[in-house]
Amino acid sequence: MKILVTGGAGFIGSHLTLSLLKEGHEVTVIDDLSLGQEKFLNESKTLKGFKFLKNDLLNFEAILEACRRVDQVWHMAANSDIAAGGKKTDVDLKIGTIATYNVLEAARVQGVKEFIFASTSAIYGETTVKPTPENYGPLLPISFYGASKLACEALATAFAHNYGMKIWIFRFANIVGSHTTHGAIHDFIKKLKLNPEELEILGNGKQSKSYLHVNDCVKGMMFGLKNSNEPVNLFNLSGEGSCSVDQIATSVISKVNPKARKKFTGGDRGWPGDVAQVLLDGSKLQKMGFKASFNSAQAVAKAVDDIIGDLETGMS
Ligand SMILES: NC(=O)c1ccc[n+]([C@@H]2O[C@H](COP(=O)([O-])OP(=O)(O)OC[C@H]3O[C@@H](n4cnc5c(N)ncnc54)[C@H](O)[C@@H]3O)[C@@H](O)[C@H]2O)c1
């Protein structure tokens, strides 16, 4: 199959690209390298069928050309820095919503039949039902990032219903593992390396979220794709349970410098727009037979080792 992965030089996209190549597909990555890094694709570059296009999804002609003769598009590109989106209010509108429209429209024009979209638990906002299932509503995101992703889901379903394109939407928990460029685990490790005595932690540390290891994220998407075939297929993708920011800090401190002190900045969340308590219900995909290798706490522990390894090998 000929596959296009947008954002394929990013954290999740680079793991996904490698897995798709290993399954024998021809995979083209389009990425402007604004957040991703070409070195994350080093292994993919050694495999047959790989192609890299450095381009911006806001350039419609570029994405139109990239979608030519493609069977399937995996749209992973986005502004993954939620806090940054709150400081400049059109970042997610452009890189999220408009870029997604461009990819959907290019896919439509070129006759692409299958579109897989990386969505997020952030579309739920602050929920009253936990664990939160796919049919929870009303959907009232509290970040520009979540608002953009919700708009993208709506655009994708409109394309599906008007043009017969099949859509898979995966609402991810917090994904962790190697090839990250930011996020709590990554930031804590970097902060502790700069100041081994004290770790500054945003908020009161009681923020608690569902986590999933990136290998399980890729496996889960591939499983969902193979085992569902509706015009619109919607899944939460999460490890079991949750993990608090304080637990993450403890895990990082134990690996980097067990003598370090914790310093909390206070407040119930890291930044405005941060959903402090997230517990995703991943049972829909699990009932179909998907089993993540790690629960939330195990995924975090593995990711701490992965990211320390990345920093040691210059991969981060
Ligand atoms: N990492 C998580 O915890 C998480 C959670 C929920 C959803 N997601 C979603 O999963 C997807 C992948 O996330 P990630 O963590 O790998 O992020 P990432 O930042 O590592 O990857 C995104 C990639 O998109 C590229 N990109 C951004 N804007 C672009 C543009 N205009 N043109 C071309 N390329 C562009 C970046 O350079 C980067 O390589 C994103 O859509 C993200 O919103 C991630």
The per-residue pLDDT for range 228-245, each reduced to its tens digit, is 999 999 999 999 999 999
What's the fold here for domain 177-210+241-313? UDP-galactose 4-epimerase; domain 1 (3.90.25)
237-262 mean pLDDT = 97
Q: How far is the CA of 58 from the centre of ligand 1 (A)?
A: 14
- Model confidence over 27-66: pLDDT tens digits? 999 999 999 999 999 999 999 999 999 999 999 999 999 9
Q: Does residue 155 have its Cβ closer than 6 Å to ligand 1?
A: no
177-202 mean pLDDT = 96
The whole-chain average pLDDT of the chain stands at: 97
In the prediction, which pLDDT does 316 show? Answer: 81
In the prediction, which pLDDT does 47 show? Answer: 98
Nearest to 19 by CA among 177, 217, 198: 217
Residue 83 has pLDDT above 90, yes or no: no
199-223 mean pLDDT = 97
Element (H, E) at 72: strand 72-75
Beta strands in 149-276 (DSSP E): 166-172, 174-176, 198-201, 208-209, 211-213, 232-237, 243-244, 261-264
Q: Does residue 36 have its Cβ closer than 6 Å to ligand 1?
A: yes
Pick the CATH number of 2-175+212-237 from 3.40.50.720, 3.40.50.2300, 3.50.50.60, 3.40.50.620: 3.40.50.720
Backbone angles phi, psi at 85, to 5 degrees: -65, -25
- Model confidence over 284-305: pLDDT tens digits? 999 999 999 999 999 999 999 9
- H helices present in 73-173, as ranges: 82-87, 91, 99-109, 144-163
Q: Does residue 170 have its Cβ closer than 6 Å to ligand 1?
A: no
Whether cis (ω within 30° of 0) applies to the bond prior to 131 is: yes
DSSP category for residue 183: S
Q: Does residue 80 have its Cβ closer than 6 Å to ligand 1?
A: yes
Query: Atom 42, ligand 1: which residue's CA is nearest?
Result: 80
Q: Which of the four pLDDT bands, split at 50, 70 and 90, describes residue 84? A: confident
Domain with CATH 3.40.50.720 in the chain: 2-175+212-237
Q: How far is the CA of 74 from the centre of ligand 1 (A)?
A: 12
Domain with CATH 3.90.25.10 in the chain: 177-210+241-313
